[in-house]
Structure 1
């Protein structure tokens, strides 16, 4: 091992090593993005050409290369060590941690890397919101120090699945959305997080906040002035952190590099879409030089940051207003979903690709929030049961054998969604149950092979494996 003459030489060597790691990560990032932009399809394991959406989703994995990113002399962001980001802000009197990852094991690794950069004591830790992937590793950063301020909004964690009466089904759907039980060969990423994250003592480092605020809080921490603002969006306990002296903004999960997850298919309480857009609008009024999202890599540069926040707010509020307008014109739920579209200028933005959220899911959530399950069409007041509808549809088709032929035709011709619906009709009558289930599995995997949206892809694949196990039983 090389010996250094003094601390100055050692520090210089350490900085050079960090620079080399950063430069290598950026190079890998650039290569992956170049491949995506060229849309060079690969062959999948069946020898078939890879769908361009899968190529784009793979390129998104460059956002999660593990790295401690130095934004400026006082702000460092850990990306890719777990499912979310954790940040360290260095003040004269100590450091402030913003968000704490999910797994205690992953948090311990990041805390160790942070301590290599600064050995100053942790004076405060801020939770941007209550999701487990931002709160599970706190003890790795604060240790046994009871004097550390742990700050969050009032109502912190009130809406989480572990406090829900339907927690069992939420957990099952959560596992499907994130592909937690998928074999490694099927995993790409989670849209805004790596496909595989640490399970080492997940959530075991959580410490409850000891300082809460309602709307806004100005506070000096470690010698730096912080502004914390309530910002409803992905959760109703979300906040953003603004450090005016460093021109640095921490958005929590209200911003990341993907169209936002206005509705989570795992199941969640209503995410206030209008408030979410307005929260981003408010952030865009600050003179931000450095932007740190809850997931994906940070952004640097006033014009870049401003452009990303503005198009994000515009997209969210456009979906909201279009949905409201369609509802007031008397459109049914499905008609509203069919009508609402982002403009071409928004669709082309890199930070609005549907890697994680989906416009139709957001539309459905808004519609149901304002008027509930009834879409205004009297036909749907007392609809036929699933089995009654299946029986009539099969009869209309000319019998089960005819519908089964149509099912196979749908698969062969690439009409995968139509095939799923036909399969569900036949499964209601138990007609060739194992064979129809096998076709449904193929349809689910075919749809997954076309998906740019990671949660949808993971859900299709996870459900297909569940069906496969049931056939084996």
Structure 2
């Protein structure tokens, strides 16, 4: 009897110990799980804005879904086949093509699809402006018929990068802005175009204009009255097309569903921003029921089109006039950038999200256009060289080692822009270049993850890839 009791007692003690150990294990596991959840929640909280921006940018990709859209029985637009749109107006005895994509391969696919819709011959091609993504595939539509008129504005293509003495650096920056060499897994979109576009015979179908005009041109093509209007904006050779019979307005790149690219970070001459805004206002006065932009999907409905064009023009002119006012009040360039903002009512508009252009970039462009590089601050008349400034800033921070620590701390605290600026000082003075570069790459990728603006995102990622390749 006593033996049984002892055994029972022994078993009970083991059970109690196991129970205590099990409870302890559950408690510790709970703490660890709670900690992990707290850490995950904190990370999600920190990256919430990044996530929202990336989701918005990814959702914007639907604007480039490949499709030939029928706006009415006589007007069609091909979206998503290349970096821009191309359109077809069906006339009595032929068709009119407006813009011709970038790659000949992509243009051939659209031309074939258009011919299935309407086998009538092409009677004219109209270029809304000279950018290669609107002119590179023309021969796919003309099919060797050199008698087909190709219409554009005077001064066509005169200011494009292929004619620039600094073409080499412009091409490099072009690659970065559009993410042309990024790995496919990093590509989302280009703000107003798909993230990846055809490389099949890029520009090989270009045909020079055979007819140009200065201010406006009214012409009958295939029995259809067509009105062309000069419209300085994204380029100084831009025009828009009005087809009154079908109440269709073709805006070229002076309108698309994103805040306009008042300045291109790939490098471009000044874009006449005041004219741009005024031309969009002018377009808003036409009673159009179909609006076909140079990029993104078309709009339908008179009221919808009027609203979109009006808020677009208002935003452009607001940035322009705010910048001019700030300059006249004596603000420096950076002060002006910090000061100019869109009204909340405009910021909320779906066609003014900064997927492609940036208010800040537009402000910088206006400012430097009117007064050049000098912002009025005498400190900037003869600034220190980059190397001297870096040396003095590092000395001020207590030396290179302490500057590196501050740089690393900034990165750890997710102050990526500040870390990137500190990294420049360290790189210029050649301090721990390999280590600095590794963190610099992380900063660039982190900044990219925060971007709603596709060109900025692509530029950050492209530079990170370039640095990573050199490592």
The two structures share one fold, judged by TM-score above 0.5: yes
The alignment status of 1:135 with 2:135, answered yes or no, reads: yes
Correspondence for 1:364: 364
CA distance in 2, matches of 1:401, 1:212: 63
Whose Rg is larger? 2
Contact 2:83 2:194 in 1 (8 A): yes
> What are the within-5 Å matches in structure 2 for residues 175-194 of structure 1?
175-194=175-194
CA distance in 2, matches of 1:236, 1:413: 45
CA distance in 1, matches of 2:416, 2:340: 23
Structure 1 gaps of 5+ residues are 1-40
Correspondence for 1:28: none
CA distance in 1, matches of 2:469, 2:58: 28
Cα deviation, residue 50, structure 1:
5.7
CA distance in 2, matches of 1:50, 1:458: 15
CA distance in 2, matches of 1:144, 1:203: 16
2:68 alignment partner, SS class = strand
The alignment status of 1:391 with 2:391, answered yes or no, reads: yes
CA distance in 1, matches of 2:52, 2:402: 34
Contact 2:49 2:450 in 1 (8 A): no
> What are the within-5 Å matches in structure 2 for residues 7-26 of structure 1?
none
1:374 alignment partner, SS class = coil
The alignment status of 1:87 with 2:87, answered yes or no, reads: yes
Q: Which one is further off, 177-186 or 404-413?
A: 404-413
Q: 1:342–1:48: structure 2 CA closer, same or farther, 3 Å change rule? A: closer
CA distance in 1, matches of 2:257, 2:410: 35
> What are the within-5 Å matches in structure 2 for residues 307-318 of structure 1?
307-318=307-318
Q: 1:465–1:48: structure 2 CA closer, same or farther, 3 Å change rule? A: farther
The alignment status of 1:108 with 2:108, answered yes or no, reads: yes
Correspondence for 1:169: 169
Cα deviation, residue 245, structure 1:
1.1
Q: 1:414–1:137: structure 2 CA closer, same or farther, 3 Å change rule? A: same
Contact 2:240 2:251 in 1 (8 A): yes
Cα deviation, residue 93, structure 1:
1.3
1:147 alignment partner, SS class = coil
Cα deviation, residue 143, structure 1:
1.0
Cα deviation, residue 136, structure 1:
0.2
Correspondence for 1:346: 346
Correspondence for 1:237: 237
1:249 alignment partner, SS class = strand
Deviations, residues 430-456 of structure 1 (Å, cap 9, x unaligned): 000010011110000000000000000
CA distance in 2, matches of 1:325, 1:207: 44
The alignment status of 1:210 with 2:210, answered yes or no, reads: yes
In the superposition, the TM-score normalised over structure 2's length comes to 0.90
2:87 alignment partner, SS class = strand
1:228 alignment partner, SS class = strand
Correspondence for 2:247: 247
Deviations, residues 285-313 of structure 1 (Å, cap 9, x unaligned): 11111000000000000010000000000
Correspondence for 2:281: 281
Correspondence for 1:295: 295
Deviations, residues 116-154 of structure 1 (Å, cap 9, x unaligned): 000000000000000000000000001111221100000
Correspondence for 2:99: 99
Correspondence for 1:443: 443
Structure 2 gaps of 5+ residues are 1-40
2:374 alignment partner, SS class = coil
CA distance in 2, matches of 1:118, 1:389: 65
> What are the within-5 Å matches in structure 2 for residues 40-79 of structure 1?
51-79=51-79
In the superposition, the TM-score normalised over structure 1's length comes to 0.89
Count of paired positions: 428
Contact 2:96 2:125 in 1 (8 A): yes
Q: 1:48–1:263: structure 2 CA closer, same or farther, 3 Å change rule? A: closer
RMSD: 1.4
> What are the within-5 Å matches in structure 2 for residues 153-168 of structure 1?
153-168=153-168
2:84 alignment partner, SS class = coil
Deviations, residues 155-194 of structure 1 (Å, cap 9, x unaligned): 0000111100000000000000000000000000000000
Correspondence for 1:468: 468
The alignment status of 1:452 with 2:452, answered yes or no, reads: yes
CA distance in 2, matches of 1:320, 1:50: 29
Cα deviation, residue 409, structure 1:
1.0
CA distance in 1, matches of 2:144, 2:81: 23
CA distance in 1, matches of 2:58, 2:48: 17
CA distance in 1, matches of 2:147, 2:202: 24
The alignment status of 1:150 with 2:154, answered yes or no, reads: no
CA distance in 1, matches of 2:349, 2:414: 29
CA distance in 1, matches of 2:91, 2:147: 17
Cα deviation, residue 48, structure 1:
9.7
CA distance in 1, matches of 2:459, 2:469: 16
CA distance in 2, matches of 1:204, 1:233: 26
- The runs of 4+ residues in structure 1 deviating greater than 3 Å are 47-50
Deviations, residues 55-83 of structure 1 (Å, cap 9, x unaligned): 00000100001000000010000000000
CA distance in 1, matches of 2:432, 2:405: 12
Cα deviation, residue 51, structure 1:
1.6
Contact 2:69 2:76 in 1 (8 A): yes
